[in-house]
């Protein structure tokens, strides 16, 4: 059985395709933050993420009438957001390699001295930033957004096997980074 939120999204898409303008407003309220967060994962800049989100909605508005399977709205809109973010990075050359070692030395050299839950979460977040963009995105889509490997494949535009490889490598690298 389909997840209730997917069913609601499907109904909203179908309603909008039939001319109900309020359905788009509800879709916007449900998805805008998710799209913005996804764009931020690529850009690491909230202003750029908001620009990408706005471009994503422009594309959605222009192409939602062509969406044949309303059940796939979530992966469809996230695919658009990912591609827009990558296009934005390419065109604006804002992609900056993140130096994990420098960040660790600067902000948290003794990260495991305290054992509070918040410190552990922060160490994972810092380690996540050290992963290559492709691995970080797959890891976040799989664990935080709970997408299936097949959906991640569609969103990122790579094969399922590539998703599996990136996920495996990301887990392994994350383990090593956290142990440090």
- Which pLDDT belongs to residue 44? 82
Structural contact between residues 42 and 53, judged by C-beta atoms closer than 8 angstroms: no
Collect the ranges in the chain with pLDDT lower than 50. 94-115
Are both 87 and 104 inside the same structural domain? no
What pLDDT is attached to residue 114? 37
Together in a domain, 73 and 105: no
CATH code: domain of residue 150: 1.10.10.10
Same domain for 149 and 80, yes or no, is: no
Q: Are residues 13 and 83 in the same domain?
A: yes
> Within this chain, do residues 124 and 77 fall inside the same structural domain, yes or no?
no
What pLDDT score was predicted for residue 100?
Answer: 36
Same-domain pairing of 169 and 146 = yes
Q: Are residues 173 and 110 in the same domain?
A: yes
Helices (runs of H) and strands (runs of E) counted in the chain: 9, 0
- C-beta of residue 140 within 8 angstroms of C-beta of residue 130: no
pLDDT for position 163: 92
Give the pLDDT confidence of 40-91 residue by residue, as tens digits: 888 888 888 899 999 999 999 999 999 889 888 988 999 999 899 988 888 8
- Closest to 29 measured CA to CA, from 8, 3, 43: 8
End-of-domain residue from the set 76, 92, 108 = 92
Residues 88 and 107 in one domain: no
Q: Among 92, 123, 158, which residue terminates a domain?
A: 92
The predicted structure's pLDDT at residue 117: 61
What confidence score (pLDDT) does residue 4 get?
A: 75
Q: Tell me, what's the pLDDT at 3?
A: 72
CA distance 101 to 92: 26
Query: Do 80 and 107 fall into the same domain?
Result: no
Q: What is the pLDDT of residue 103?
A: 38
Distance of alpha carbon 47 from its chain centroid, rounded?
16
Domain end, chosen from 67, 92, 117, is at 92
Give the range of the structural domain holding residue 85, as residue numbers without chain letter. 4-92
Domains contained in the chain, number: 2
Residues 53 and 116 in one domain: no
Q: Residue 98's pLDDT is what?
A: 41
Compute the distance between CA of residue 137 and CA of residue 139 in angstroms, rounded to an integer.
Answer: 5
How far is the C-alpha of 119 from the C-alpha of 135, rounded, in Å? Answer: 23
pLDDT score recorded for residue 145: 77
Pick from 94, 78, 178, 177: nearest CA to 137: 78
Cα–Cα distance for residue pair 126/72, rounded to 1 Å: 32
């Amino acid at each position: 059985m389909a997840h209730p939120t997917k069913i609601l999204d499907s109904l909203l898409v179908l309603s909008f395709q039939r001319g109900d303008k309020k359905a788009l407003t509800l879709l916007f309220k449900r998805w805008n933050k998710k799209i913005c967060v996804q764009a931020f994962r690529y850009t690491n800049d909230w202003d750029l993420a908001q620009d990408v989100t706005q471009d994503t909605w422009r594309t959605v508005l222009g192409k939602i009438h062509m969406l044949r399977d309303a059940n796939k709205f979530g992966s469809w809109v996230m695919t658009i957001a990912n591609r827009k973010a990558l296009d934005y990075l390419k065109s604006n050359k804002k992609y900056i390699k993140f130096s994990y070692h420098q960040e660790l030395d600067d902000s948290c050299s003794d990260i495991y001295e305290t054992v509070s839950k918040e410190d552990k979460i922060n160490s994972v977040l810092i380690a996540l930033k050290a992963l290559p963009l492709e691995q970080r995105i797959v890891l976040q889509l799989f664990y935080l957004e709970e997408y299936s490997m097949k959906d991640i494949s569609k969103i990122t535009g790579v094969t399922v096997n590539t998703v599996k490889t990136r996920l495996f490598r990301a887990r392994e690298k994350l383990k090593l980074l956290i142990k440090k």
